[in-house]
Amino acid sequence: MNRTSNFQPAVYIMANHKGGTIYVGVTSDLPQRTWQHREGVVEGFTAKYNCKRLVWFELHATMEHAIAREKQLKGGSRKAKIALIEAGNRDWRDLFFDLNG
């Protein structure tokens, strides 16, 4: 992905399919980070479980706030994460294509 980095702290959730495995992450560049997950250039959990679908995200003013929110979400139940996703994205549609207009 050849583009200029845009600093915008965000917390996000990736999934492999509706109701499937989910991953909560934090980044300063959501379009770039999501692309990395989708293309499999990020080794680890998302690659292992094929979590390539961006199903939820939340933008923050600072990385400190984003990291605190990520920790809150990671500490919460799976049920709470699913409720958060489905409140705004009932079908678990891939939001990646919405990021750049």
* pLDDT tens digits, 20-54: 999 999 999 999 999 999 999 988 999 999 999 99
Q: Over 16-29, what HEC string results?
A: CCCCCCEEEEEECC
Q: Nearest Cα to 23, choosing from 57, 68, 59?
A: 57
User: So what's the pLDDT on residue 75?
Assistant: 97
CATH fold of 10-98: GIY-YIG endonuclease (3.40.1440)
Task: Provide the greatest CA pair distance for the chain.
Answer: 37
Which pTM does this prediction carry? 0.92
